[in-house]
Amino acid sequence: MLQSRASFVMGIHVLLKVNVSVDIEVGYIRLVREIENKMLEKKNLLISLVLGVFLITTLMILYGNYQLDGNSNSDVGSSTTTTTSVTTGQSIHKSKKQKSKPTPPPKPPLVTFMVLTADDFKETRTKAIRESWAPRALAMGWRIFYYSETDQGSPHDTIATNETDKSSYGNDKKQWMAWDHMESVENPSPFYMKVDDDAYVFVDRLKRTLEGLDPSGIKMYGRCDDFFWEPKPFCDGGSGIILTREALQAMVRWHNEGKCKDTGHNDLSTSWCMVDNGVKLTYIPGLHGDPPNDWKELANDVTWHHLNPDDLRRIDRLFYD
Ligand SMILES: *[C@@H]1O[C@H](CO)[C@@H](O)[C@H](O)[C@H]1NC(C)=O
């Protein structure tokens, strides 16, 4: 367009040189240019207008969608003044609901706990856990299951294993039912941790510990060692055994296939289930098999074991009061 106009003006210029009536030609050229400029201005204006309208419409649509996602509730709430607006509000709400994606599943807890206990200890040990570190773990969004023979209901509710054998072999069976339950529970977590009912868990330090562990693959973490008094390495179960999701699944499967032997010590039974099926146990620091002995242990350890119920409350007060 511009080029053809330029050549047209050039043509006039050539004409101008040849022609005698210069003034008329110059006037004509000016006239043509003015008309052309006017037309060009109009066209630009029109293009700008169309583009502007398009842009504003796009922005309004985008903003509208954004609002639909964020403010659907307040829309309905604010339109309760008249019946008509209520129905409009509801129908808007409906169409919004259809548009929005299904709600995502709740964020999985970083860790799911197994507290292995017994009916005899519900008033003492598990009560102390519920009054010390358990609320802090729940506040982290974590999950705790207490397993006992029966469920005596609130406030001591536990998961009933119905295991009546009170010997250590009965405890093994109770533990396998507990692992089974942990494995099948919805919204799986990357880590599963078993502690005894006389252990204190320092949740803030555990969080840091877990965040440093690899959650993939079949791994058992804990106070695992080649303890001289046992023929095979194992992880101490009182101060905490930590399993990855895959390890829990594999362990439950191996147990169901009869590939694990009960020993009468629940930590040996789980550890050797892993060892006998080719898993190398992974030692991590900070899990302590005894009550704290000095300030260094208090300042660094993640768990302590063999505490009485009052010790649990005392340690909790020490750090959080
Ligand atoms: C224990 O017994 C109760 C009541 O009979 C039953 O509902 C529950 O499923 C049983 N639990 C297990 C693990 O078998």
**The amino acid at 29:** I
For residues 22 and 165, state if they share a domain.
Answer: no
Nearest atom, ligand 1, residue 181 CA = 13
Cα distance between residue 225 and residue 281, in whole Å = 8
String of b and e for 19-37 (b: at least 16 CB within 10 Å)?
eeeeeebeeebeeeeeeee
For residues 177 and 316, state if they share a domain.
Answer: yes
144 CA distance to ligand 1 centroid (A)? 19
CATH number at residue 316: 3.90.550.50
Residue 30 domain boundaries: 2-99
DSSP state of 277: T
Q: Is residue 159 in contact with ligand 1, taking CB distance under 6 Å?
A: no
What is the percentage of the chain residues whose pLDDT exceeds 70?
Answer: 73
* Domain presence at residue 286: yes
Could you write out the DSSP letters of every residue in 209-221? HHHTS--SSS-EE
162 CA distance to ligand 1 centroid (A)? 6
Task: Name the residue of 158, 162, 185 whose CB sits within 8 Å of the most ligand 1 atoms, as the mutation to test its pocket.
Answer: 162
Q: Is residue 160 in contact with ligand 1, taking CB distance under 6 Å?
A: yes
The answer, as to whether pTM is greater than 0.75, is no
Could you write out the DSSP letters of every residue in 36-70? HHHHHHHHHHHHHHHHHHHHHHHHHHHHHHHHHHH
Cα distance between residue 205 and residue 299, in whole Å = 10
Check whether 166 has a pLDDT greater than 80.
yes
85 CA distance to ligand 1 centroid (A)? 52
260-313 pLDDT tens trace = 999 999 999 999 999 999 999 999 999 999 999 999 999 999 999 999 999 999
Cα distance between residue 114 and residue 191, in whole Å = 11
What is the pLDDT averaged over residues 154-165? 88
* Domain presence at residue 104: no
Q: Is residue 164 in contact with ligand 1, taking CB distance under 6 Å?
A: no
218-227 pLDDT tens trace = 999 999 998 8
151 CA distance to ligand 1 centroid (A)? 9
Nearest Cα neighbor of 219 from 243, 236, 235 is 243
**The amino acid at 119:** D
Check whether 75 has a pLDDT greater than 60.
no
For residues 78 and 185, state if they share a domain.
Answer: no
Q: Cα torsion for 50, 53, 54, 57, to the nearest 10°?
A: -170
Any idea how long the chain is? 321
For residues 119 and 95, state if they share a domain.
Answer: no
Q: Is residue 148 in contact with ligand 1, taking CB distance under 6 Å?
A: no
178 CA distance to ligand 1 centroid (A)? 12
Check whether 82 has a pLDDT greater than 60.
no
54 CA distance to ligand 1 centroid (A)? 65
Q: What is the pLDDT of residue 23?
A: 55
Cα distance between residue 115 and residue 103, in whole Å = 31
> Which residue's CA is minimally distant from atom 12 of ligand 1?
161
| Six-digit token string for 321 | 């009061």
Check whether 85 has a pLDDT greater than 80.
no
* Domain presence at residue 106: no
Q: Is residue 177 in contact with ligand 1, taking CB distance under 6 Å?
A: yes
Q: What is the pLDDT of residue 63?
A: 65
- Mean pLDDT computed over every residue of the chain: 82
> Which residue's CA is minimally distant from atom 13 of ligand 1?
161
Residues in CB range of 123: below 8 A, 6 or more apart: 156
pLDDT band at 2 (very low <50, low <70, confident <90, very high): very low
Q: Is residue 161 in contact with ligand 1, taking CB distance under 6 Å?
A: yes
For residues 135 and 158, state if they share a domain.
Answer: yes
> Which residue's CA is minimally distant from atom 5 of ligand 1?
162
Left (φ > 0), alpha (ψ -120 to 50) or beta: where does 138 sit? alpha
Cα distance between residue 53 and residue 37, in whole Å = 24
Q: Which of residues 118 and 5 earns the better pLDDT score?
A: 118
Nearest atom, ligand 1, residue 162 CA = 1
pLDDT band at 58 (very low <50, low <70, confident <90, very high): low
Cα distance between residue 17 and residue 9, in whole Å = 13
For residues 149 and 272, state if they share a domain.
Answer: yes
DSSP state of 287: B
The β-bridge partners of 282 are 221
* Domain presence at residue 213: yes
For residues 88 and 115, state if they share a domain.
Answer: no
For residues 199 and 118, state if they share a domain.
Answer: yes
Nearest atom, ligand 1, residue 150 CA = 1
Please tell me whether residue 303 adopts helix, strand or coil conformation.
Answer: strand
Q: How many CB atoms lie within 10 A of CB 4?
A: 8
227-257 pLDDT tens trace = 888 899 999 999 999 999 999 999 999 999 9
Q: How many domains does the chain have?
A: 2
For residues 133 and 254, state if they share a domain.
Answer: yes
Nearest Cα neighbor of 255 from 173, 192, 164, 315 is 173
Cα distance between residue 49 and residue 38, in whole Å = 16
For residues 91 and 154, state if they share a domain.
Answer: no
Q: Is residue 85 in contact with ligand 1, taking CB distance under 6 Å?
A: no
